[in-house]
Amino acid sequence: MLAIFGNLVTGVPMTLILTFGALLIGVVLGVPICMARQSRHGVLSRLAAALIVAIRSVPPLVWLFLVYFGLGSGILRMSPLVAALSGLGLITAVNMAEIYRGSLAAIHSGQWEASQALGLPRWSRLVEIIGPQVARISLPAVATYAIGLLKDSAVASIIGVPELAFRGTYLSQQTFKGLEIFMAVGLLYIAMSLPVAWASRVVDARIRLRVAK
């Protein structure tokens, strides 16, 4: 049993790579998508809105199939990991864009006005004044999303990414110890979620202590 568990745990790094890889892609790519969505340029804004709706309305599993079996069959050969990272990364990006949009709306208009009245250049207003405040407000929602993503990364097992759920499925088929193995899988997911939730609370509390009104 210990040997089985040892084998199972080898799926953990891949789950973490998938989760944090997709999160990183999403956190970064969400910024331009959010900016496009907020753009005063009507066409750009509508395109971004359409992209967000389209990506959010299709289940992650279907996206992975679309990327891996659709694009992957001929147009763009890619490994299961790359396909899963692109698919989950894109889904994360549009969700981040929506989280950022909500945070932007929560920022007091006086922050924009003060930075304009001071004559700060546009990049500084965005990067030094508004950006950090958006990040701060977004943090709890991003952490919640990250935990969701950790669990959703299990869909990547369907296209053969050797992550935790994939290992569990494989080992249970080999050993017929489904109950024990999937209980262990569940516990491992919990063990990975807790530090994320904890880190988010610590960071949030620290920021709150400093800047709360």
Partner 1 sequence: MTMPATADQRPLVHVEGLRKSFGTHEVLKGIDLSVQRGEIVAMIGPSGSGKSTLLRCINQLETHTAGAVTVAGVTIGPDSASHERDLQRLRRNVGMVFQSFNLFPHLNVLRNVSLAQQRVLGRSPAEADERSMQLLTRVGLADKAMQYPSRCSGGQQQRIAIARALALDPQIMLFDEPTSALDPELGLEVLAVMRELAEGGMTMIVVTHEMHFAEDVSNRVLVMADGEIIEQGASREVMQNPQTARARQFLSAVRDR
Residues contacting 60, CB < 8 A, separation 6+: 87, 88, 91, 152, 155
Given 9, 50, 58, 118, the residue binding partner 1 (CB under 8 A): 118
Residues contacting 64, CB < 8 A, separation 6+: 83, 84, 87, 88, 155, 156, 158, 159
- Count the residues of the shown chain that bind partner 1, applying the rule CB under 8 A: 23
- The span of 13-21, 50-58, 103-111, 138-146 binding partner 1 (CB under 8 A) equals 103-111
- The span of 37-45, 124-132, 150-158, 187-195 binding partner 1 (CB under 8 A) equals 124-132
By CB under 8 A, the residues from 134 to 163 that bind partner 1 are 136
- The span of 38-46, 117-125, 138-146, 177-185 binding partner 1 (CB under 8 A) equals 117-125
Nearer to partner 1, 79 or 111 (CB): 111
Given 108, 187, 194, 201, the residue binding partner 1 (CB under 8 A): 108
What is the Cα–Cα distance from 80 to 34, expressed in whole angstroms?
28
What is the Cα–Cα distance from 118 to 113, expressed in whole angstroms?
8
The torsion of the CA quartet 25, 31, 33, 38, rounded to 10 degrees, works out to 170
- The span of 33-41, 127-135, 155-163, 189-197 binding partner 1 (CB under 8 A) equals 127-135
- From residue 44 to residue 83, the character string flagging contacts with partner 1 as x (rule: CB under 8 A) and all else as - is ----------------------------------------
What is the Cα–Cα distance from 123 to 125, expressed in whole angstroms?
5
Residues contacting 29, CB < 8 A, separation 6+: 89, 90, 93, 96
By CB under 8 A, the residues from 1 to 20 that bind partner 1 are none
Q: Considering the complex, what minimum distance in angstroms separates the CB of residue 125 from partner 1?
A: 9
Given 129, 143, 164, 171, the residue binding partner 1 (CB under 8 A): 129
Nearer to partner 1, 86 or 200 (CB): 200
